[in-house]
Structure 1
Amino acid sequence: MSQPAILDFTAGSLARHLARHDMPGQRSKTAITQLRRRRAALNPALAPVPPVKERAKARFLADAVAEIVRRGGETHIEGENRATPLLVVERTDEIALIRASGWRWYGKRVKPRYVDLAYLYGKDDASPWAVRVSGTVTSVAEGLTWLTPAAVVKAEAAGRRVRRQGDVYAIETTARRDGRGVLPEAHEWRPATRRMVHRPADGRRHRPLTLPWPVEFVTQRTIAMGRSNGWAEGD
């Protein structure tokens, strides 16, 4: 059995094929070329689809930026002629460091200033979270060290037990100091049942903590979202 002929679909060969078989329509090379150009103008070529890995990275960054926006954070540094967006600098299995560095434009009467934005972003038992950390932070490990209260570092070095619920740390202590510390409004300590519960307004609850040993509470402190340089709770 002979193999079917492979058609050459250039404009010239197609014109000859149509003429040879007396097929209807515009059959000249010029007419076919013009028809193809008109169709191409009406149906522009689709943009190439990025690889799966690149799409996953873009989706991760978009989710992180959405959480930062939800918490009132900046997502770029506005310069005189362009904005510098946030980028993922480092990502571990659970946490990412997201940064932007650039010249911020304040208007013609004020000199631009080079600024750094840095956030830690991740997901825990409640939901996605994002906190603003010092602009000097350049790695996830540095960010976690910066974020951890000194009292927690000291307790862990001494071998005392530490548990965390969002931005609140429960540090093992003596019976005399049991229950000390100021809790953020969304967290509640119930000494009768030895449980700390979380009841935030947005419904994103952390799991309750049962703490059978004496504990005192320390709250994580972060840089406030937005352009403020004040302090805020991290939860």
Structure 2
Amino acid sequence: MSQPPPKDLAAEPLARHLALHNMPGQRSKTAITQLRRRRAALNCSPAPIPSVAERARARFLADAVAEIARRGGETDIEGEHRSTPLSVAERAEGIALLRVAGWRWYGKRVKPRMVELAYLYGKDDAGPWAVRVPGTTTSVAEGLAWLTPAAVVKARAAGRRVRRQGDVYAIETAPGRDGRGDLPDAHEWRPRTRRLVHHPADGRKHRPLALPWPVEFVTQRTIAMGRGNGWSEGD
């Protein structure tokens, strides 16, 4: 009775062994190599299961990208052969900075150009929000500082009270200036009840803001979503 070949033989000596002992099956080196490759493909190890933390990070990024896209923002930079997507650069104070940098392809007649995009993303009482900040922004703190109007910075430095409702800041002021300032269409000041109310088109409104002291209003300005560099209101 012929002895079975060792399982760990290389293809060439295994082929010689099978032929020498007149054993059935594929006997050539090429046939044995191909058979082993097919078996290896069928028996390949499954992809590792992401950890809970990895799945949470992926879900957070997906939610942030979806909100930016909903507001008309770019979520990747299209290159000649591939696109570069947004990624989370930092998370701090419940807010995330998302960034992407890459060579944008404009076609064969125009040279590619390095482009940087950056957004702040977070959630408040009205739900998720996202605003575009300069592409060179490298931290949440830097992005928040850029978004904050100069009048708000000055008021806080002077010890005056400041409240915020989305993209509107209510700054404590002198009685003679009560109610001054331009409000976006989605915000309404009701002096009789001393309430600032929010009624946006998409229905995701902020809670009414009670302001019992004299206030004037300043609106946050940010870079418009999309490829342009114009100005837009925040949220």
TM-score by length of 2: 0.82
Verify: 1:208 aligned to 2:199, yes or no.
Answer: no
| Displaced runs of 4 or more, over 3 A | 28-31, 37-41, 43-46
Number of the residue aligned with 1:122 = 122
Q: CA deviation at 1:39?
A: 11
Once superposed, what is the RMSD of the aligned Cα atoms?
A: 2.2
Unpaired runs of at least 5, structure 2:
1-5, 8-22, 27-34
What CA distance in whole angstroms lies between the structure 2 residues aligned with 1:100 and 1:229? 16
Q: CA 1:68–1:29 in structure 2 vs 1: closer, same or farther (change >3 Å)?
A: farther
Equivalent pairs: percent with the same residue?
77
Q: Secondary structure of the equivalent of 1:81?
A: coil
CA distance in 2, matches of 1:40, 1:85: 31
User: Could you tell me how far apart the structure 2 residues matched to 1:30 and 1:130 are?
Assistant: 64
Cross-structure match for 2:181: 181
How many residue pairs get aligned? The number is 206
- Aligned twin of 1:172: 172
1:162 alignment counterpart? 162
Q: 1:47 Cα shift?
A: 2.3
CA distance in 2, matches of 1:86, 1:30: 54
Cα deviation code 1:147-189 (max 9, x no counterpart): 0000000000011000000000000011111101111111110
Aligned partners of 2:131 and 2:121: how far apart in 1? Answer: 7
User: What amino acid is the match of 2:178?
Assistant: D
Distance of 1:149 and 1:40 partners within structure 2: 60
Q: Distance between the aligned counterparts of 1:144 and 1:127, measured in 2?
A: 18
> For residue 153 of structure 2, what is the aligned residue in structure 1?
153
Q: Supply the AA of the counterpart residue of 2:173.
A: T
Does 1:52 pair with 2:47?
A: no
